[in-house]
């Protein structure tokens, strides 16, 4: 019998790095709304009372960055002066400038090319990974899914203002699963650190922390985590330092792209190193990572494997991938070889950036926006087009 523990973490929309991601993606959304051909690489830095936005833009759009930043900060919930970072009073500095023409010449080609999907080259070189497994209905690793749902439920409760009214925007979660013979046996540890108001007058710090812990365990943890994975040995940990009043950008600076493992698979799969938020879809760091997830999810949903990792690589200015790699971790069905699956994948899926933009509607999102991706994970939510399973039957047919 083999036994091991595996842990993933998530952070809420109020975490300073996620504040930065959401601002960068909101700016991207507005540029694409006005000009679908915008080229955007937007980075955000947040700290006490200050937001700094920088990066490279090529677009005909005219975006009011300051108003947009304040709108996002308000949506997240930083609306009180005591947070030391507040939507209406924080400083906003913009240092956006034009994209390098050396990069743009390979991305938006001016010469005549017969196939329109070959006219847009990859925005950079790099490697991207996608992953899927059958641990959850979303075909995502269970630990990261539960971790996301914990902080998402905390945020929903906070915004409803009906209970746990002491909650503040910043929070983190962590879930440790115990596996036996490769299958989830139980939740070993569930951890939440949540920012909160000071204890009310007349209430001791110990009693206040006890109330917060009981609320979080009973109203969040035991609601999100399936009961069959909880036993008498499961450990529930809330605010292990005993106090979490100072948080958000006042407690820590935030930067776009600093939560790449939270954004993807919680460490259950490799990562190519490229961040997502603030990048337009010509940047394959983003669009190809979405495509790799799309492929992996359809492979697993088609019953070709229980687990699937996809790697793709690109060269700047070249439309077609340099390489495609498939690894089913020894779980391929009916004696299939990974090389066979890879051969079919290359025929079924078009991984050129222009094809990805069209297939997923990345230049003109409908029913979703890039800001939606910037908290609680880029994968595992059906609102995103790269989560669709429209290639399952084609893959099944390919293998008869």
Annotated binding site: 15, 17, 43, 56, 99, 170-172, 243-244, 252, 258-259, 275, 279, 283
Binding site for L-methionine, by residue number, is 56, 99, 252, 283
Name the pLDDT band for 87 (thresholds 50, 70, 90): very high
In the numeric block, the tokens 């066979």 are attached to 340
Counting residues of the chain whose pLDDT is more than 70, the rounded percentage is 96
Q: Is the pLDDT of residue 228 over 80?
A: yes
The span from the CA of 84 to the CA of 71, in Å, is 17
* Pairing verdict, β 167-180 and 3-11: antiparallel
Mean pLDDT of 132-160: 98
Q: Which residues does 1 contact at the CB level (< 8 Å), separation at least 6?
A: 180, 181
- Residue 298 pLDDT > 60, yes or no? yes
Binding residues for ATP: 15, 170-172, 243-244, 252, 258-259, 275, 279
Instruction: Select from 245, 202, 252, 254 the least CA-distant residue to 82.
Output: 245
**pLDDT, tens digit, 9 for 90 and up, residues 53-82:** 999 999 999 999 999 999 999 999 999 999
Task: For each of the domains in the chain, give its residue range(s) and CATH number, in order of start.
Answer: 3-10+142-247 (3.30.300.10), 126-135+257-268+283-398 (3.30.300.10)
Residue ranges of the annotated binding site for Mg(2+) are 17
pLDDT over 70 (residue 103): no
Residue 101 has pLDDT above 80, yes or no: no
Average pLDDT value over all residues in the chain? 95
What's the confidence (pLDDT) of residue 56? 95
SS3 state of residue 118: helix
Number of residues in the chain: 400
Rounded Cα–Cα distance for residues 95 and 105 (Å) = 23
Q: Dihedral sign, CA of 363, 368, 369, 374? A: negative
Contact in structure between 129 and 311 (CB atoms under 8 Å): yes
277 CB-contact burial (10 Å; exposed 0-12 / middle 13-18 / buried 19+): buried
Residue 107 has pLDDT above 70, yes or no: no
Instruction: Give the global pTM.
Output: 0.95
pLDDT in tens, 250-265: 999 999 999 999 999 9
Residue 363: the pLDDT is: 96
pLDDT at residue 100 is higher than 70:
no
- Sequence-distant (6+) residues with CB within 8 A of 160 are none
């Amino acid at each position: 019998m083999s036994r091991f523990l595996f842990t993933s973490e998530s952070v809420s929309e109020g975490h300073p790095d996620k504040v930065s991601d959401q601002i960068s993606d909101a700016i991207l959304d507005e540029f694409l709304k006005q000009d679908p051909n915008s080229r955007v690489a937007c980075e955000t830095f947040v700290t006490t009372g200050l937001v700094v936005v920088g990066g490279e833009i090529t677009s005909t759009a005219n975006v009011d960055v300051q108003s947009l930043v304040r709108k996002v900060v308000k949506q997240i919930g930083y609306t009180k002066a005591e947070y030391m970072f507040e939507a209406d009073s924080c400083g906003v500095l913009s240092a956006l400038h034009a994209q390098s023409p050396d990069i743009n010449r390979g991305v938006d080609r001016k010469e005549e090319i017969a196939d329109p999907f070959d006219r847009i080259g990859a925005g950079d070189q790099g490697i991207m990974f996608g992953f899927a497994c059958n641990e959850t209905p979303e075909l995502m690793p269970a630990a990261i899914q539960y971790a996301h749902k914990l902080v998402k439920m905390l945020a929903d409760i906070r915004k409803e203002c009906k209970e746990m009214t002491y909650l503040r925007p910043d929070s983190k979660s962590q879930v440790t699963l115990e596996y036996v013979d490769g299958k989830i046996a139980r939740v070993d540890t569930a951890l939440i650190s949540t920012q909160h108001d000071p204890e009310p007058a007349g209430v001791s710090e110990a009693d206040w922390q006890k109330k917060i812990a009981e609320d979080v365990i009973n109203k969040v943890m035991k609601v999100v985590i399936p009961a069959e994975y909880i036993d008498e040995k499961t450990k529930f940990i809330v605010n292990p330092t005993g106090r979490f009043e100072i948080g958000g950008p006042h407690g820590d600076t935030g930067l776009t792209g600093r939560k790449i493992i939270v954004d993807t698979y919680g460490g259950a799969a490799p990562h190519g190193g490229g961040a997502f938020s603030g990048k337009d879809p010509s940047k394959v760091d983003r669009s190809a990572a979405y495509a790799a997830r799309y492929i992996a999810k359809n492979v697993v949903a088609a019953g070709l494997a229980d687990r699937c990792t996809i790697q793709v690589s690109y060269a700047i200015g070249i439309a077609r991938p340099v390489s495609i790699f498939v690894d089913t971790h020894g779980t391929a069905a009916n004696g299939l070889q990974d090389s066979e699956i890879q051969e079919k994948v290359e025929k079924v899926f078009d991984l050129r950036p222009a094809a990805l933009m069209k297939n997923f509607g990345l230049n003109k999102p409908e029913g979703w926006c890039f800001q939606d991706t910037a908290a609680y994970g880029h994968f595992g939510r059906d609102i995103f087009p790269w989560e669709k399973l429209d290639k399952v039957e084609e893959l099944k047919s390919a293998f008869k």
